[in-house]
Structure formats: C-alpha cells, structure tokens
Amino acid sequence: MPEDVEALVQFDDVSTQFGDLWALRDVSFGLRKSETRIIFGAAGSGKTTLLKAAIGLIQPDSGKICLFGEEITNRSEHALFALRAKAGMLFQESALFDSLTVRENVEYPLRNQQSETPLTEEEMEGRVREALRFVELEHTLDKLPSELSGGMRRRVGIARAIVTEPPLVLYDSPTAGLDPITANTIMALIAKERDVRQTASLIVTHRFQDGELMANFRYDAGTEELVPVPESGGDSTERALTKFFVMKEGEIVFSGSREQLDQATDPYVRRFAKH
C-alpha cells in the first residue's frame, strides 16, 4: 500500500509478552510526517514498550516494525544503530547522563550519528547551542543535570532528542511530575518542534491537556507564539493530524480523534477523555 511507504514508523500485528503479561498485543498503526499520536493508558499498559519497540530497543515476540521504511524486527544491533540514531527520544524521567554537562548530554546524539561527512567540532557546538536555544536553556551549557530543576532537565532532554533534527521524535511522559505551568511550557516546545520542522511525534502522557494542546494549537512563526487553530474548516490540520490511542494490557483499545475519544462509552477509555 502506498500509504505504508510514507510511514516513518509502521507496526503490523506486533506482540510482546513478559512472562504471562502482555506488553504489546496485536499493535498495528502507521505514523507519517507531521502526525501526532497521543498515547494514554494505565501504568504498565505498554506505552514505554511501544516507544522502545519503535526504535528497536525491544524486539517483539511477533509482528513486524518498520522504521523509516526499513524493517527493524530481527535486525542485528549494529544494523539498528544507524537507523535508531535518525529518531529522537525523550526517555521517561529524561534519563540524562548525570556525570555529563548539559552540553555533553545534548552533544551525545550528534557524536553517535553515523555520517559520511561527520560534523566538525565547530558545527557540533553550533547545533548544540541551537537546540538549547530552542528550549531556552543556552545559559546552562556547562551545568550538570543535578544543578537544574525538574522542568529544566526535561527541556534538556528535549534538546537532546531534537538536536539531530530527526523526522520522528518519541516523547515518553514529557510532562509527568511537573507543575501545570511548566508542563504547558514543555508541550508548547513539542508543538513548536512539530510545526517548525513537520516532525512526526509519538507522545506518551497521562494528561488530557497535553493532547488538547497538540490538537488545538499551532506555532505561529511570526509572533513566535502558539495560536488556537480554528474550531472547524479553514486550517484545521493540527486537529486532523493529532490522533489518540488508549492502551490497555498491551492492546490499543481506542484509536481516534479527540471528538471520538470524548464520545467513547467504554469506562476504561473514558478515564482518558475530557470530563
């Protein structure tokens, strides 16, 4: 199918069990340029497993996963490395290297890129500064993660995830444990990244508002602010490009638009809808 060719990441009937627990169960979906999937689900429902499987950090028991059009299931770690380096990932709890400075943390993916024409030290410095400027943390270059607040560490994690300008970024619980204002700042950065670079995003979250923001706002380059997208008609692409998954015991038990989520009747799915 031609639409599969364009998918940056594609799952076909992917399943994984740990013992007798399903971490992924018959998961199928495709994600294309500029598209966002908000992934909801109870603790242990498979959200992190899904993100890790998407970049080959976990090999499923069955099914097929393609990343940037190439099958990654049952590939050697070596072959996976280059492909994985083309995707950005914000790990749950940020997972910064504690003993490395902010600069070294953000530089890390650039040094890991396998390229015919490696970046010079100067170019790397430029890219690191640009990524940190994007999250408004350029002044923290030489600090250690322990010297930053939780929200700042999350922003450094985002800078590290986007520094290679990846076409696909996976965000694992970017707003977890943050106060609402900081959480909104983080989501605004994620929306800006999507709109400035047409990035495809998979976003795991527990907050309904995070999905609302991705669906209802877009970054306006003129004013450098998020602006609401029209309710209907006109330029409502953000809304159409943002879809929601609800996971339960490894399975995607709901997939659809925000409106469809609001109308869901299943009590488990309703837990993640607007009340």
What residues make contact with Mg ion under the rule CB under 5 A? 48
Distance of alpha carbon 214 from alpha carbon 192, whole angstroms: 10
Which residues, 6 or more positions from 244, have their beta carbon under 8 angstroms from its beta carbon? Answer: 37, 38, 39, 40, 211, 254, 255, 256, 257, 258, 260, 261, 272
Smallest gap from residue 47 Cβ to Mg ion (A): 5
Which is nearer to ligand ATP, 41 or 211 (by Cβ)?
A: 41
Which is nearer to ligand ATP, 40 or 219 (by Cβ)?
A: 40
Which is nearer to ligand ATP, 192 or 248 (by Cβ)?
A: 248
Smallest gap from residue 4 Cβ to ligand ATP (A): 25
CB 119 within 8 Å of CB 127 = yes
Distance of alpha carbon 200 from alpha carbon 89, whole angstroms: 12
Smallest gap from residue 78 Cβ to ligand ATP (A): 22
Chosen from ligand ATP, Mg ion, none, partner binding at 260 (C-beta under 5 to 8 Å by type): none
Smallest gap from residue 176 Cβ to ligand ATP (A): 8
Chosen from ligand ATP, Mg ion, none, partner binding at 1 (C-beta under 5 to 8 Å by type): none
Which is nearer to ligand ATP, 157 or 195 (by Cβ)?
A: 157
Which is nearer to ligand ATP, 226 or 269 (by Cβ)?
A: 269
Smallest gap from residue 92 Cβ to Mg ion (A): 5
Which is nearer to ligand ATP, 208 or 217 (by Cβ)?
A: 208
Smallest gap from residue 62 Cβ to ligand ATP (A): 16
Binding residues for ligand ATP (CB under 6 A) = 18, 21, 23, 41, 43-49, 92
Of all residues in the shown chain, the one whose CB is closest to Mg ion is 48
Which is nearer to Mg ion, 44 or 151 (by Cβ)?
A: 44
Secondary structure of the chain in HEC code, one letter for each residue: CHHHHHCCEEEEEEEEEECCEEEEEEEEEEECCCCEEEEEECCCCCHHHHHHHHCCCCCCCEEEEEECCEECCCCCHHHHHHHHCCEEEEECCECCCCCCCHHHHHHHHHHHCCCCCCCCHHHHHHHHHHHHHHCCCHHHCCCCHHHCCHHHHHHHHHHHHHCCCCCEEEEECCCCCCCHHHHHHHHHHHHHHHHHHCCEEEEECCCHHHHHHHHHEEEECCCCEEEECCCCCCCCHHHHHEEEEEEECCEEEEEECHHHHHHCCCHHHHCCCCC
Look up residue 17 and give its two tokens.
């069990």
Smallest gap from residue 174 Cβ to Mg ion (A): 12
Chosen from Mg ion, ligand ATP, none, partner binding at 44 (C-beta under 5 to 8 Å by type): ligand ATP
Chosen from ligand ATP, Mg ion, none, partner binding at 34 (C-beta under 5 to 8 Å by type): none
